[in-house]
Structure 1
Amino acid sequence: MNFIVKYYLPITMIIVKSILERTFIMALALSLTGLIISCRDSNKVEVTQNNTLIEKSKVGQTYHLTEAEGKKYLNEIKQSIRTPEDWRTRANEIRSFILEATDLDPLPEKCPLNPIFGAIRKFDGYQVQNVAFESLPGVYVTGSLYSPLITTEKPAGILSPHGHWPKREDYGRYRPDVQNRCASMARMGAVVFSYDMVGYGQLAELGWVHESPQTMKLQIWNSIRSVDFLISMGVDPKRIASTGASGGGTQTFHLAAVDPRISVSVPVVMVSYRHFGGCVCELGMGIQEDEGFKYNNAEIAACLAPNPLLLVSVGTDATESTPEVEFPFEQYIYGLSGKSEMVENAHFPNEQHGYESSKRAAVYPFLAKHLNLDLSMVMNTDGTVNEDGIIIEEIEALYPFDQQHPLPKEGIRANKDVVWDWKSNL
């Protein structure tokens, strides 16, 4: 079986491909295993109310399964999935369960997007335009659209959901790493939509909150409507990707599992066989297990198969075992269709939970390869990222509502006022 595991170290990069002889692979794998193990400390162990020992990752993420339980579960799935048809059946079950658990089956009626566009700000190789559109009547998705200065017919589209970093100076889609990657992907030729998760950004100041019982439902729906928005902007419907870190990684593989229009998925520091998330937007509404049906985030990520999937992992959070556990599982699923080369893993054993430039240096080539983008616009000849000239804007500069573009009077200001069955009220 073919596989690609990339270990990114501070100075050198080792790329392992299975086209080599088995003896060479074993020797190299042993040396890399020693490298990974050397940078792990023993995890803090807690006892749950059921007297089950549960570990915590170095960044405090709670593991929902023990190591033995998680490996046993994935093994059992592999034993039960033997053909492409087996996996299609399983993937459809997962999709159906996610939609049913989040009360999105059937999907709501789609209202007109009614987009509100701000002024275009031109920068070095890219431009930014703040946008708000309706995912449901009165429910506005807020974000910023990054695009190339030179427009082409049917460019690739990329969604950029963000994670949960809560501090205002290190916040949501306004973080420097998010702005850098969105601008860079636009320089490469893509149209990129960076959008606020529920209760983040300008709407948080108007009364929306993130910690709400139905946040997961609305967040998935907002992401589905964000795909609609990108298509309405003229992107190629066959070249749409999603990438985000932490909670943005969760949103990436959830969306890719339920919306077949996502053709490339790059979840960063989030696909774990033991950790399922820690927020209502990841674990809410009984999504992980209900009445005996259960699945694993590694399975959700694999629902994209056989389309391109890149797992970005680190040695200091719940993705620490990706090269040995989650990635081989994804390879197995992709291999059933003879497409194991379509899944890759970029692993950073010494790095932290985030989407730093080193990780972006792994993501940009993958997106360029599968979305037909111009990698030369963002990479130096030595393989490092070139993000010179990108302007990190202030938070308020990325808000779509201002005096010239106010929140419409019908705009909803609180989670409780969302009306899902809106057509019946007409």
Structure 2
Amino acid sequence: MKLSSLSFAFLLIAQFTYGQYNPEKPDLCQGKFYTEEDAKNLHADFAKRYSDKKSWEKHVKEIRQGILDGAELSNFTFKKPTNIVIHSKKDLNGYSVENVSFQSIEGIYVTGNLYRPIEISGLPPKGKSAGILCPHGHGTDPRFAAYTQQRCATLARMGAVVFAYDMIGVGDSKQSDHKIDKALKLQIINGKAALDFLLDLPNIDKNRIGMTGESGGGTQTFVLSAIDDRIKVSVPVVMISGYFFGGCTCESGMAIHKRPTHQTTNVEIAATFAPKPMILISDGGDWTVNTPTMEYPYIKNVYSFYGAENMVENVHLANEKHDYGISKRLAAYPFLAKHLKLDLQKVIVDGKIDESANKILSHAELQVFDEKHPRPANAVQGNEAVMALLVKK
């Protein structure tokens, strides 16, 4: 693609005026790539490239194509998940939990838990349900953690069908280490497959699909939301930053930010979701510290091109740190309820959202692969085998 003189000038500014240039990885923006001040100046320069819906949407096409090109997915054919197994259903208080695996590409399996609303009678709710993808952040098997279960169970009790799935290399998805070089590529493939799985479940309203995750799961949320129009509501938690690009290969290990045609940031990637509903949940203890004064106003300005400033929000918890704890969940629930038409009243007790009806299940209860349900025989194992498959694909 031929660059205009203006685009070329901005590209040079971004590459050489701002950021920590790494000669060993010149195409990557990783970690705290900019200083906070440089990020502000860079985005002020970026904002000169678009002033209305038409000029912004031209740039959106660059950003989306840049993600696909940088993640080596521009010529990739995304296929429906296969070898779907759903087992070990547990009926709880207003919701059920099942253990799930399916094949995203031949030899690679996505693993997770499916939370579905149930009525007191034990029968499925009438009509179609909203669907929500819930990727998680980094940690020791976060899908099994209480905070992930609380989020998914509460949303299911509100009427959503929720799918929480593993990052690669954690939980039941241990076919390779997490930090393989093409982790970003594989997690986009798995995210697409997870979305297909969710949409193909019975009685899912395809116009009421949301996605929410924290930290690395926040990155998965705004990246997948940028390239897949089927996601209608986006809730990235404690992740969107103008100067931080994610510290893991699954977030910034492939060249989705620096392209021959342009340079972008996670702020711009998140803004591609305009004018659909999005809430940024941030805190004072990590790289989202400046969200109320920098990232949120920047994204809100993009929403103004559509006359949709009221569709983007920010809840900033200045005294909190990096997590998807109760305060963040209490910010997310009303927003998701409003825009996905969920029943918030089902989780309110004495005027407040109450998670006490949720049951925290054990690792064994949520485990996908066990003696009765072994990992499929065709699942590839080891970093080299997984990388070879991704290079081939």
| TM exceeding 0.5 | yes
- Structure 2: how far apart are the matches of 1:109 and 1:324? 38
Q: Partner of 2:177: helix, strand, or coil?
A: coil
Report what 1:139 is aligned to: 108
Letter in 2 for 1:165: G
Structure 1 gaps, min length 5: 1-46, 51-60
Given that residues 135 and 166 in structure 2 are in contact (C-alpha distance below 8 angstroms), is that contact kept between their aligned partners in structure 1? Answer: yes
Aligned to 1:134, the other structure's residue is in SS state strand
| Inter-partner Cα distance in structure 1 for 2:90 and 2:390 | 35
In 1, are the aligned partners of 2:233 and 2:278 still within 8 Å (CA)? Answer: yes
Is this contact kept in 2: 1:302–1:330, CA < 8 A? yes
1:154 shift after superposition:
2.4
Q: Distance in 2 between matches of 1:349 and 1:132?
A: 38
Partners of 1:203 and 1:396 in 2: how far apart?
Answer: 15
Residue 275 of structure 2 is matched in structure 1 by 306
Which of 137, 143, 160 aligns to 2:134? It is: 160
Following the alignment from structure 1 to structure 2, what is the Cα–Cα distance between the partners of residues 111 and 349? 42
User: Out of 132, 142, 145, which is 1:175 matched to?
Assistant: 145
Give the superposition deviation at 1:343: 0.0
Residue correspondence of structure 1 range 12-411 to structure 2 within 5 A: 63-110=32-79, 112-150=81-119, 151=124, 152-166=126-140, 171-204=141-174, 207-234=175-202, 235-291=204-260, 293-383=262-352, 385-411=353-379
The two structures, once aligned, show a CA RMSD in angstroms of: 2.0
Report how far residue 49 of structure 1 moved. Answer: 8.9
Counterpart Cα distance in 2 of 1:421 and 1:118: 32
* CA distance, structure 2, for counterparts of residue 262 and residue 237 of structure 1: 9
- Specify whether residues 109 and 300 from structure 1 end up closer, same or farther in structure 2 by C-alpha distance, changes over 3 A only: closer
Could you list the runs of 5+ residues in structure 2 that have no partner in the other structure? Answer: 1-18, 23-29
Distance 1:186 1:103, change over 3 A: same
8 A Cα contact 2:211 2:234, kept in partner: yes
After superposition, the C-alpha distances for 1:75-97 in whole angstroms (9 at most, x for unaligned) are: 12222211111111111111100
- Kindly state the Cα deviation for residue 72 of structure 1 after the two structures are TM-superposed: 1.3
Q: Distance in 1 between matches of 2:21 and 2:187?
A: 31
- Counterpart residue type for residue 155 of structure 1: S
1:299 Cα deviation after fit: 0.7
Q: 2:131 touches 2:209 (CA, 8 Å); kept in 1? A: yes
3-state DSSP of counterpart to 1:222: helix
For residues 170-208 of structure 1, the C-alpha deviation after alignment (integer angstroms, 9 at most, x for no partner) is x3211111100000000000000000011111232xx42
Q: Which residue of 2 aligns with 1:35?
A: none
1:386-412 alpha-carbon deviations (Å, 9 max, x no partner): 011211112232111223322221122
Contact 2:97–2:113 (8 Å) recurs in 1: yes
Q: What is the identity, as a one-letter code, of the residue corresponding to 1:416?
A: E
Give the total of aligned pairs: 360
What's the offset of the Cα at 1:62?
Answer: 5.0
Alpha-carbon contact 1:271-1:301 (below 8 Å) kept: yes
Distance 1:300 1:379 in 2: 35
Contact 2:81–2:196 under 8 Å retained in 1: no
Cα drift, residue 380 of structure 1: 3.8
Amino acid at match of 2:166: D
Q: What TM-score do you get using the length of structure 1 for normalisation?
A: 0.81
One-letter amino acid of the counterpart of residue 131, structure 2: G
Q: What is the deviation of 1:288?
A: 2.4
In the other structure, the counterpart of 2:25 is none
Residue pair 1:200, 1:210 contacting (<8 A) in 2 also: yes
Native 8 Å contact 1:277 1:283 kept in 2: yes
> Equivalent pairs: percent with the same residue?
43
1:105 positional shift: 0.6
Secondary structure of residue in 2 paired with 1:285: coil
- Between 1:147-156 and 1:105-114, the stretch displaced more is 105-114
* Contact map agreement 2:80 2:193 (CA 8 A) in 1: no
Amino acid across the alignment from 2:103: E
| Whole-angstrom CA distance in 2 between matches of 1:297 and 1:282 | 10
Specify whether residues 72 and 116 from structure 1 end up closer, same or farther in structure 2 by C-alpha distance, changes over 3 A only.
Answer: same
